[in-house]
Amino acid sequence: MTEMIRWWSVWVILFVMFGCRDGQRISKIQQGVVEYSIDYPENFKSRSVSHILPDKLQVYFADDRMKLVIKGDMNLFSLDFLSLAGGDSCFTVFRLLNRRMLYPLKTDERWFLFGQGAPYQTLIYRDSIAIIAGFKCYKVAVSRSDNPKVRYDAWFTDQLVLNSKMMRSPFEGIDGVPMAFTINYNRHEFRFRATSFSCDVQTEPIALPTQYEIVSRQEVRDMVDMIIK
């Protein structure tokens, strides 16, 4: 009996130490960092600004906080989306060189990359399965009720726990984290796909910057449009 208890203790310790490193070993994970690759439209790759475009997106989440981070090459600019207090307080932060601009989102306002307007219709295909970054995912299709051509496709995993309200996106109401998704912005389609996951969320504090100027939603969009036209 003593020997059995000793071996059981060893297995418990190994699970705690290594279980978080493999998403398929744990049914639900409460915090972590998902890193995505970014696939740009072909016409973007020949533009003069293509060399400064970011090649990855990172999403940090823990408890009731989330931070989405996109950084340009050479750290010339960054675009962050912060969701605090379970999605009740959300902010867009755009930095260009040393200038930091912050826009506090209104209640129930979507992040500007997803637009505003009519509600969305959601179709969930749980029989369509894909393994992305080690996680089992199911397919989701979201389209605007007044214009089905405005559509967002995604692959979600419910092995990662994130309140969908925090994303301020058309995917609200869908459990889990999108591991692959598309964004249609300024008539261009951008594709994001998860490449890795880590449980370490300490490398990027999920908090507002210490210095910033409050601007309007349109001011932030105008700055982003300078890069993504």
CATH architecture of 28-225: Clam (2.50)
- Strand, helix or coil for residue 2: helix
Exposed e or buried b per residue across 66-79, where buried means at least 16 C-beta atoms within 10 angstroms of its C-beta: bbbbbbbeeeebeb
Report which of 38, 96, 105, 103 is spatially closest to residue 227, judged by C-alpha positions: 96
What tens digit of pLDDT does each residue of 169-203 get? Answer: 888 888 789 999 988 888 788 899 999 999 887 76
Q: pTM of this prediction?
A: 0.82
CA separation for the pair 157, 162 (Å, rounded): 10
Place of tokens 């340009």: 72
What tens digit of pLDDT does each residue of 89-120 get? Answer: 999 999 988 889 999 998 888 888 877 666 77
Start-to-end C-alpha separation, the chain: 69
- Strand, helix or coil for residue 139: strand
Report which of 177, 165, 171 is spatially closest to residue 136, judged by C-alpha positions: 177
